[in-house]
Amino acid sequence: MAGPGTFSDEPLTPSGRLFLQPQTNVVIHCIVRGKNPFDIDSVKSAVKSSLMVQHPRFCSLLVRDKNGFEHWRRTQLDIDQHVIVINNRLDKSGNFLDESQGFSRVEEEEDDDEAAVNQYVADLSVSSPLSTDKPLWELHILMAHKCTVFRIHHALGDGISLLSMLMASCRRADDADALPRLAPEKTPEFKGGKGRDWFWLFIVIWGFLKMVWFTLMFVTEFGIRSLFVSDRKTVIIGGDGVELWPRKLATARFLLEDMKAVKKAIPKTEGLRMTGVAMVNLRAQPGLQDLSKLVMGNSEARLGNKFGVILLPVYYHKGGNNPLEYLKRAKTMIDRKKHSLEAYFSYRIGDLVMSMLGPKYASLLNYRLLCNTTFTISNLIGPLEEITIAGNPVSSIKVNTSSLPQAITMHMLSYAGRAEMQILVAKDIIPDPEFLAKCFEDALLEMKEAAIGTYKA
């Protein structure tokens, strides 16, 4: 317990303890680019009054008791310790430029500007853990790049809860008093009625049987993949220790309308298998959390880590003239995953191992799963309209994490009709992530053209 006149220590959740282990120590990065340069005083004022720093975990130090168990201990928050201002420009390698090199030419080259910020964050992902002598978050302001980088330890919460906290501090660009509008929650309707009850009963029973079968199949595969079976060694696979290798970061950009057009065209093995790990939100509400409830103070129970994982097998196929065929196979697999409880069981298995064997073995299980697979991917649905932060209109929001033992990790976030995917790679294995990002962008456009062709046909 804490001393007289202080708050009681709060023990970490099992997931929080997992993310503090050396092999699974993960920091979440959120890159927010403004349309105008950020005003330091306005940013500090916005942070001080934000819901984020009012939450106990953002005002607490990580401490360990005599038995080695981690706790949160409330402390006096000093904003100046957390806000790091960088005035100099960065070059494409992430190195600082001095004032004598001038800014006028570089300011006109948006691609160089993007590459400089990406490399800065890529370097942070490997070489700059968060200090435990202050609460586990930082805000880096890159003045010359009109950019801020939030660094928040994964032990404080997962991407959904932390991004929800950040959005609660933002406002809509078209209404300075309104919170960002997120994707509305869809409520399924049960269409019963005379003569249809037996039909719907059959559908429910059939759905339950499919859930049981797919759960048994996928959970068994999950256990085998975590403990015994690894992807075949390829030129893009990582492994033990790769999380320490230097990184590069690139961005792929998409239009949501293009994604929807492709999705409509697919209402409905050959070669090498590569396995991905995808994060699945297990909260009752999909997507970002209800901002109005967060602002009203109902945040204590909502912050934290509550996600499972599913395995995504991806197969390489030779030839083929229709790019939608790849997507149809992927959709069939994803639909089966949705009918299973794989994500839920992965979450419960982690909790069980943590409770029975401790964080060391839970971390080892998670690390082996990452070493036995090729990539990690996650996606979040962000604000529907443009927003402002500290009075500055936001032009883009991107998220990623610190490095994992895989050679490639991908994190996508949508914002105002667009989606940007951050691709973090081990540069000694994948030296040109920009080319990979361009391939992703071109692939979506090819699928869109194929989808338009199906409509005309």
8 A C-beta contact, residue 130 and residue 78: no
Which of 101-105, 151-155, 408-412, 443-447 comes out lowest in average pLDDT?
A: 101-105
If you average pLDDT over every residue of the chain, what do you get? 84
Cα 250 to Cα 115: distance, rounded to the nearest angstrom: 7
Element (H, E) at 399: strand 392-401
pLDDT of residue 299: 47
| Residue 192: inside a domain | no
Q: Where are the alpha helices (DSSP H) in 173-323?
A: 197-227, 256-264, 291-295
Domain that holds residue 276: 10-180+211-454
Cα 118 to Cα 104: distance, rounded to the nearest angstrom: 20
The amino acid that residue 170 corresponds to is: C
| Residue 292: inside a domain | yes
| Residue 199: inside a domain | no
3-state secondary structure 136-187: CEEEEEEHHHCEEEEEEEHHHCCHHHHHHHHHCCCEECCECCCCCCCCCCCC
| Residue 311: inside a domain | yes
- Can you read off the two tokens belonging to residue 441? 């962008």
In the chain, how many domains are there?
1
| Residue 185: inside a domain | no
Element (H, E) at 379: strand 375-380
Confidence tier at 3 by pLDDT (50, 70, 90): very low
pLDDT of residue 292: 55
| Residue 268: inside a domain | yes
- Can you read off the two tokens belonging to residue 360? 């060391």
Phi-psi region of 391 (alpha: psi -120 to 50; beta: other; left: phi over 0): left
| Residue 186: inside a domain | no
Element (H, E) at 44: helix 40-48
Cα 183 to Cα 414: distance, rounded to the nearest angstrom: 10
Mean pLDDT of 355-381: 92
pLDDT of residue 99: 57
Of the chain, the percentage scoring pLDDT greater than 70 comes to: 85
Mean pLDDT of 90-101: 72
Query: 97-101, 120-124, 453-457 — which one is most confidently predicted on average?
Result: 120-124
Q: What is the pLDDT of residues 174-216, one digit of tens each?
A: 998 888 887 665 555 555 555 567 777 778 888 888 899 999 9
pTM for the model: 0.87
Strands of 375-380's sheet, edge to edge? 247-255, 418-426, 408-415, 375-380, 273-281, 307-315
| Residue 193: inside a domain | no
Distances in Å between the Cα of 124 and the Cα atoms of 13, 257, 306 are 26, 33, 25
